[in-house]
A = this chain, B = another copy of it.
Amino acid sequence: MNLSSSLLEAAVKEFSKLPGIGKKTALRLVLHLLKQDEHEVSNFSETISRMRKEIKFCKTCFNISDNDACSICLNPSRKKDVLCVVENIRDVIAIESTEQYNGVYHVLGGIISPLDGIGPEQLTIESLTERVKKDGVKEIVFALNPTIQGDTTIYYIRKKLNNANLKYTAIARGIAFGGELEYADEMTLAKSIRNRLPVDSYIQ
């Protein structure tokens, strides 16, 4: 695309780096911003850059947060002895929006996947085991994508915790095998977290 302004060209290039945004869409977005008031656009850019600079990860559950502890961990009405293990922040958001879960989370930061070079040591499993001991956790709810990697991760964590007094559950397999948790509709996700099953019946 041959644009008459290098400023415009640079802005289009930045937008088209975003996932799913091609050059034509990027141009449409940039021309939209060009029509807005200057303070609106600086608001936009400042919000984005401030978000990236100031956002923190909760020191307990590794969810994103404005401070060292996230609003879910700080909420006194949340059951601290029920712990939902998820792959990433998107999964926390997805489960939260079902309004069916009243425990706390533990964000692994990924999933065990030897092919992608991700082993248990890259995830927050070490801190999960510490947390289970310290907080007197009674139930671990695995809410991982239903894939081989998800099952491997569940298996590994269970082995690692090695705690017979814990109740292990997993979200029900209402979601198709190989599906992506974050794209599931709320109904399915709501049902699958309400009807969570003992792990023994799950991995078979």
Contact = CB atoms under 8 A, between A and B. Distances in A.
A54 interface: yes
A2 to B, nearest CB: 5
A4 to B, nearest CB: 5
B6 A66 contact: yes
A51 interface: yes
A58 B3 CA distance: 13
A2 B66 contact: no
Contact of A5 (B17, B46, B49, B55): B55
A28 B19 contact: yes
Interface string A37-70: 0100111111111111111001000011110001
Total copies of this chain within the assembly = 2
Given A14-B44, A97-B1, A8 B55 contact: yes
Contact of A63 (B4, B17, B30): B4
A42 B56 CA distance: 17
A31 interface: yes
B55 A34 contact: yes
